[in-house]
Amino acid sequence: MKELLNKWYKNHALVYKMLLFLVTTLFIVYLFPKTGKFRYSFEKGKPWQSENLYAPFNFAIQKTQEEINEEQLEIENNAPVYFEIDREIPETIKLNYITKFNEVFNDSTTSKRTLFRQGTDMVETLYENGILDTDYPYSNDKQVVLVASNNTVEKRIEYRGLIEINQLRNRLESFLKQSTSAENKNKMISLFFDIVKPNVTLNETLTKKTLEEELSQISHTRGSIDKDQLIISKGQVVEDEEYNILKSLKSEYESQVWNTANYNWVLVAYTLLVALALLMLLLFLQKYRLEVFQNNTKVTFIFFNIALMVLLTTLVINYNSQYIYVVPLCILPLVLKAFFDARLGLFSHVLTVLLLGFIVPNSYEYMFLQIIGGIVTILTVSELYKRANLFISVGQITLIYIIAYFAFFVIHEGQITTLKWDTFGLFILCGLATLFVQPLIYIYEKIFGLVSDVSLLELSDTNTKLLKKLSNKAPGTFHHSLNVANLAESAANEIGANAMLVRVGALYHDIGKMKNPTYFTENQSNGINPHDELSNRESAGVIVDHVLNGIEIAKKYNLPDRVIDFIRTHHGTSVVYYFYMKEKAENEDVQIEDFSYPGPKPFSKETAILMMCDSVEAASKSLKEPTTTKINDFVENIINKQMESGQFLNANITFKEIQSIKKVLKHKLANIYHLRIEYPE
């Protein structure tokens, strides 16, 4: 048992990666839609590329959304409107009419009796169908159903049969005969305006309920295809009818086959494919990015971002697949490039797009757009810490999206008259969402403890608290660090290394000297050398300790590990040569390890560059009457000694790159000492 625990402890990093791999795979498979995947791909207006297709089972042909919309519109136009009529109001109006008429016309002439009969007829006519309580926006030929208060149907008429309030005066004037005097006509109109009340109101609940019932009866299918019936032949163009049949088959297949006998097998197949994609990522990291692979935090960060993009895309598809292009998938390569490099960012992006191809509609079109977008992201975004660069790159990415989508639309439709301009707006929204990468990088730095070029830019500011402290306590060391930073940045640019990282590393590489600043010659301004009072071993110990002190100070000020690496490695395992030779002259029995730095040796191009530049800059102060020849020999000797002692064996730097760095250092030192070209005599 103890041996098993020891073995597990030794391989805990690998066990963690296996668990991370398994959890991420299962999570992504869980997000996948619970449907099968139709094996054939087809496009309207394109030839059928596969063999003759026969129906594998009986299925119904689904109507297109346009057909369903047309049927819905027709039902809505023809559906009757239900109005509730009150039959008690007309009886009340008749009684009120008699009373009111006698009050207005109190004589007993023949014309009064005639006028009374006309008024009685008008009441009957007005309330034959009813008077509306307000005007409604229906056409005159709209079918209307009049119902009682208990929803029993009384009659069916057209909307023109009902009287609207604004029509009342015209109706009254047309009822009164021409022989009626103007005075009596006005009295009658005023009388009716006093007694008339609406008795017909819209029954919205019944109207809506009836309409919904009729809409629910719409059939979503038309006709059917029998098993083994030929659907389409090889080479046949997929026209509208064939396209609808193929879409119906695809929908039926994905809804039935998955949910019956093949559920478990399809689930296993999805798991295998997702696991295969993630395994390729792990193998890539192990082969080409070993440093990342060995860091579980970084591997977790990469897997987390891939799973996050799959999650966001799935949520959008479940809500409305039309908004699929709003998801800012290009954030993934941007983030990975900011923390790692472009190659890893693009590789992860392509794998993520391949995974999303299982769940998005029009997968080929989507994958093409996103892969092209990822490539453009990697090619255009440089120096992410410069805000203008990000805006320009996002604009270019959005433009590429729009151009590619336009090309696909023309290929599918063969015209641009039906172009969906709303989709262009989705691409613009996607571009705006991509700008969120800046605050996202800051959040990731705090959560995962990573460092990006944005943070490096902040650390390169010489007004930071730590660098100010260095300039006050050890001004000579601070000046030396500035010179080394300038040399290292130029060398990094020459060989294509991370110039920002090596500059920051150079600024902080000697912060350990703040603890005992006067023990280093660049800070000795009064001519007193404290080493005169120490033994050679003690002096060497003080010199070596500045590396360990620097690491301690860096951790206290929360400097990133990538910067601390420069403090650890800038002397490698080299020897404090001056005190070693001095001790050897006094005592031949001396151990070189007592005068050596603890290491480790530089393990990247950037840390190797710093070692060269630090040694050359520090030793250059001892040059007397420098000439071009002296400087060339001086640089060659120092760097060659470092190569001979194996200081660069762990760094992925080539002889050619080292020669380029030598050339830069010679040129820079010549400029520092204001040397001119030595002309032959």
Residues 263-285: tens digit of each pLDDT = 677 788 889 999 999 999 999 99
What mean pLDDT do residues 101-122 have?
77
Assess contact for 509 and 480: CB atoms under 8 A: no
Q: Say if 291 falls within a structural domain.
A: yes
Distance CA 553, CA 556 (A): 5
Residue 419 has pLDDT above 50, yes or no: yes
Q: Pick from 181-190, 241-250, 417-426, 638-647 the range whose average pLDDT is largest.
A: 638-647
CB 616 within 8 A of CB 487: yes
Q: Give me the pLDDT at residue 679, please.
A: 46
Cβ proximity of 366 and 345 under 8 Å = no
Are residues 602 and 496 located together in one domain of the fold? yes
Percent of the chain with pLDDT over 90: 31
392 and 345 inside one domain? yes
Scored b (16 or more CB within 10 A) or e, 634-669 reads bbeebbeebeeeebbebbebeeebbeebbebbbebb
Phi–psi pair at 37, nearest 5 degrees: -125, 120
Return d(Cα 82, Cα 505) in angstroms, integer.
Answer: 81
Same domain, yes or no: 102 and 247: no
Q: Which pLDDT does position 300 carry in this prediction?
A: 95
Of 16-20, 136-140, 604-608, the poorest mean pLDDT is in: 136-140
Q: Residue range 361-381: average pLDDT?
A: 87
Indicate the pLDDT class of residue 680, thresholds 50, 70 and 90.
low
120 shares its domain with 234: no
pLDDT at 480: 92
pLDDT (mean) for 575-602: 84
What would the two tokens of residue 261 be? 């006998």
Average pLDDT over every residue of 486-498: 92
Span 432-453, pLDDT tens digits: 888 888 888 888 888 888 888 7
Confidence of residue 37 (pLDDT cuts 50, 70, 90): low
- For the ranges 148-162, 232-246, 360-374, 497-511, which has the lowest average pLDDT? 232-246
Is the pLDDT confidence value at 8 over 60? no
Residues 6 or more apart whose CB falls under 8 angstroms from that of 600 comprise 568, 569, 572, 573, 650
| Torsion sign over Cα 564, 570, 573, 576 | negative
Query: How many folded domains does the chain comprise?
Result: 4
Q: How far apart are CA 677 and CA 361, in angstroms?
A: 68
What was the pLDDT predicted at 2?
Answer: 59
547: containing domain: 458-672
Of 425, 448, 471, the position where a domain reaches its end is: 448
300: in domain: yes
Helix, strand, or coil here: 39?
coil
Over the chain, what is the mean pLDDT? Answer: 85
**Does 362 lie in the same domain as 271?**
yes
Residues 355 and 277 sit within 8 Å (Cβ to Cβ):
yes
Cβ atoms within 10 Å, residue 77: 9
Peptide bond into 90 cis (omega under 30): no
- Identify whether residues 521 and 593 lie together within a single domain: yes
The mean pLDDT of 323-345, rounded to a whole number, is 90
- Taking the CA atoms of residue 490, residue 495, residue 497 and residue 499 in that order, the dihedral angle to the nearest 10 degrees is 10
pLDDT in tens, 626-662: 788 888 898 999 999 999 999 999 998 999 999 999 9
Query: In this structure, are 247 and 374 located in the same domain?
Result: no
pLDDT in the model for residue 21: 94
Per-residue pLDDT, 636: 93
